[in-house]
Amino acid sequence: MDELHHISFEDLSAAARELEHRQKSAKEQIVKDWLPRYTGMSLEKFGDYILLVNFGNYVRMFADKHDVPVYGADKPMQAATADNITIINFGIGSPNAGLIVDLLEAIRPAAVLFLGKCGGLRTSKNHVGDLILPIAAIRGEGTSNDYLPAEVPALPAFALQKAVSTTIRDHERDYWTGVVYTTNKRLWEHREDFKQRLRDLRCHAIDMETATIFVAAFKNRMPAGALLLVSDMPMTHDGIKTEASDKQVTANFAQIHLDIGVDSLKQLINKGTTVKHLRFED
């Protein structure tokens, strides 16, 4: 007990800093090992700008257009890189969304843009094929609670969303802005209590990843944004997505969705604009 009285506050602080440093170093080693492990692509092949997608066909379209190889055909995630932009298919759902953001710490990207599909909730306004530029996301998925307290809002990097907005206009398209509800419930379409909650919250869209990406990226000090494509109108019985309807959405709208995402990041690259509208300081 006497020895404890001789331990100073400075000694305790130094020990805490040393422990934190070791934990951070261990995490860095893990993500540097796991990002290539999950994608099949070595770290030096990653670009500084990242497109996150849910489906392998986006990666193939990107690779075909830029005449580059696709990595990870036998891995959980597929990836391809061209012009300092890497596209990654990380799968579906909030746990996978959190995982890929954590793994991106291995390369510290300049910007992360999520191109996802969503359900349109404003039946009088939304249509399949509409673009939604989220200004915020509601954290209904649970995964983001492992990153930051529930009081922290899920917000995108403003400058990145601004670049996406400009690019959409350059493509002579229009878009909606609003709040997206991120859920971990996939089969909720016949739950009237949940649908009423979405109406009460006045959400514009629903998906399974956006809030997680925003919060995990903020926690990891990465600027992140999202551009969502309305793939179905699940608040109506005949608007629920099926395999056939999703194929039609992909055929009609996936290419423009992808092109806008790529061109948005190229706009940042060419102008050399920083997207850190928030200073990531403690």
| Number of domains the chain is built from | 1
pLDDT 10s digits, 56-81: 999 999 999 999 999 999 999 999 99
- Domain assignment present for 2: no
Q: How far is it, in rounded angstroms, from Cα 257 to Cα 261?
A: 6
Residue 280, in any domain of the structure: no
Position 173 in a domain: yes
Give CA–CA dist 222/279, Å, rounded: 10
Residue type, 44: E
Residue 282 lies in a domain: no
User: 26 falls in which pLDDT band (50, 70, 90)?
Assistant: low
| Least-confidence region, from 102-111, 134-143, 245-254, 272-281 | 272-281
The whole-number average pLDDT for the span 219-236 is 94
Q: What is the 3-state secondary structure (H, E, C) of the chain?
A: CHHHHCCCHHHHHHHHHHHHHHHHHHHHHHHHHHHHHHHCCCHHHCCCEEEEECCHHHHHHHHHHHCCCCECCCCCCEEEEECCEEEEECCCCHHHHHHHHHHHHHCCCCEEEEEEEEEECCCCCCCCCCEEEEEEEEEECCHHHHCCCCCCCECCCHHHHHHHHHHHHHCCCCCEEEEEEEECCCCCCCCHHHHHHHHHHCCCEEECCHHHHHHHHHHCCCCEEEEEEEEECCCCHHHCCCHHHHHHHHHHHHHHHHHHHHHHHHHHHHHCCCCCCCCCCC
Q: What CATH number has the domain bearing residue 99?
A: 3.40.50.1580
Give the tens place of pLDDT for each residue, 157-169.
Answer: 999 999 999 999 9
SS (H, E, C) 3-23: HHHCCCHHHHHHHHHHHHHHH
Range of the domain at 141: 10-271
- Is 279 inside a domain boundary? no
Q: Please indicate, yes or no, if residue 236 is contained in any of the structural domains.
A: yes
Cα 105 to Cα 45: distance, rounded to the nearest angstrom: 15
Which residues share a beta bridge with 269?
none
Return the CA Rg of the chain. Answer: 20
Tell me if 238 is assigned to some domain.
yes
pLDDT above 80: residue 143: yes
Mean per-residue pLDDT, 108-132: 94
Residue 103 lies in a domain: yes
Nearest to 241 by CA among 227, 229, 259, 256: 229
Residue 94, CA atoms < 13 Å, CB-side half-sphere: 26
